[in-house]
């Protein structure tokens, strides 16, 4: 073969790519030493187009690829995965990690542990209260964390969460893919919106908390919100009536069920925990939100992940 330029990549392995998790993947790839390469079991044509638009290089086990470096350009999409030709899916993805991730109940526990440093050493009943789960779910989650190398047992009663950055990335991807759709109580639109409609929304008297774009705007002042994400224990009828909100499948306001049992770490109690704000921004997959998510991470999450 003739000599040519050589390119060394940082590689991230992923399987079961879904549109909902693309934002998390894009952000994670951009945080790796560049150039970075996504290696997957299968990248369908729509996801391939979105990755290429974001200039995320990839290749998969079916032969699809996007490589774009000086002296190197490869663009292949539409190749079918091996399991469509009769090969078992488990065989087709054997080179990659086969774990399907944490149980949904464990994700609630992990969220509390990531948001409250030191909680892993607390009694299981306290962890259960902070996670809004049953005691048995805490037992299962802690076992999962130990088996996956995220929890270090120091003696009989002392525990330490480790590899927090990696755990955070896995939690965000799993939250977007598994939990976020199930938590949604509804989408709504304002019947008479204004140019800066988000400034008129009030949360305090309705016991709701902001996440996503409005929370990011309040936390950084960097983002002009286009959509609102908020969490409540139940659908806040008073809030809906006050702001004249009507149900809409593509509405700009999403209300989801609050799932944690502790006070947010932000100075404003009407703002969700920074990790959730970060995850909701990443879930959109939009470049402007990914940039703001990076700011949230730098200002609010990096310190909590130190000493891993």
> What is the count of structural domains for the chain?
3
Q: Which of 68, 92, 116 is the last residue of a domain?
A: 92
3-state secondary structure of 66: strand
Enumerate the β-bridge partners of residue 38: 12, 58
Q: Are 195 and 82 found together in one domain?
A: no
pLDDT for position 264 = 75
Mean pLDDT in runs of 10 for the chain (308 residues)? 74 80 80 89 88 89 91 88 56 42 91 95 95 95 94 84 92 91 94 75 79 93 89 91 90 95 78 96 89 91 61
Q: Please enumerate in sequence order all residues whose Cβ is within 8 A of that of 281, keeping only pairs 6 or more positions apart, or say none.
A: 23, 212, 213, 216, 289, 290, 292, 293, 296
The CATH number assigned to the domain holding 112 equals 1.10.10
- pLDDT for 64 equals 93
Looking at the fold, whether 201 and 296 belong to one and the same domain comes out as yes
> Domain residues for 65?
10-92
Q: Please name the residue that has the structure tokens 């090969």.
A: 87
Cross-strand bridge partners of residue 188: 247, 253
Q: Same domain, yes or no, for 299 and 188? A: yes
CA 58 to chain centre: 20
CA distance 7 to 35: 8
Query: Which pLDDT does position 137 carry in this prediction?
Result: 95
**Residue 284 in domain:** yes
User: Does residue 225 sit within a domain?
Assistant: yes
Question: What's the predicted TM-score (pTM) here?
Answer: 0.79
Distance, CA of 177 to CA of 103 (rounded, Å): 12
Shared-domain flag, residues 230 and 271: yes
Q: Long-range contacts of range 50-57, CB-CB < 8 Å, 24 or more positions apart?
A: 50/19, 50/22, 50/285, 51/22, 51/26, 54/26, 54/287, 56/25, 56/26, 56/29, 57/9
- Establish if 69 belongs to a structural domain: yes
Looking up tokens 């290089």 gives: 57
């Amino acid at each position: 073969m003739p000599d040519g330029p050589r390119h060394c990549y940082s590689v991230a392995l992923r399987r079961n790519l879904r549109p909902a998790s693309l934002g998390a993947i894009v952000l994670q790839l951009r945080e790796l030493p560049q150039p970075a390469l996504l290696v997957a079991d299968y990248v369908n044509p729509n996801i391939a187009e979105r990755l290429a638009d974001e200039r995320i290089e990839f290749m998969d086990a079916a032969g699809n690829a996007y490589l774009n470096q000086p002296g190197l350009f490869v663009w292949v999409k539409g190749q079918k995965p091996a399991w469509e030709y009769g090969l078992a899916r488990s065989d087709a993805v054997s080179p990659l990690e086969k774990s399907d991730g944490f149980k949904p109940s464990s994700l609630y526990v992990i969220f509390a542990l990531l948001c409250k440093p030191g909680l892993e050493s607390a009694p299981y009943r306290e962890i259960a209260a902070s996670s809004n789960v049953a005691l048995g779910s805490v037992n299962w989650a802690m076992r999962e964390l130990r088996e996956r190398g995220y929890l270090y047992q120091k003696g009989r009663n002392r525990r330490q969460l480790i590899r927090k950055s990696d755990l955070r990335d896995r939690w965000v991807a799993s939250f977007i893919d598994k939990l976020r759709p199930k938590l949604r109580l509804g989408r709504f639109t304002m019947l008479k919106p204004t140019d800066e409609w988000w400034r008129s929304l009030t949360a305090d008297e309705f016991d709701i908390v902001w996440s996503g774009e409005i929370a990011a705007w309040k936390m950084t002042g960097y983002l002009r919100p286009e959509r609102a994400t908020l969490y409540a224990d139940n659908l806040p009828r008073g809030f809906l009536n006050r702001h004249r909100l009507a149900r809409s499948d593509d509405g700009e306001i999403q209300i989801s069920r609050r799932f944690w049992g502790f006070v947010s770490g932000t100075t404003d109690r009407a703002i969700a925990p920074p990790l959730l704000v970060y995850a909701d921004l990443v879930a959109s997959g939009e470049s402007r939100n990914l940039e703001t998510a990076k700011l949230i991470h730098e200002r609010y999450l990096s310190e909590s992940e130190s000493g891993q």
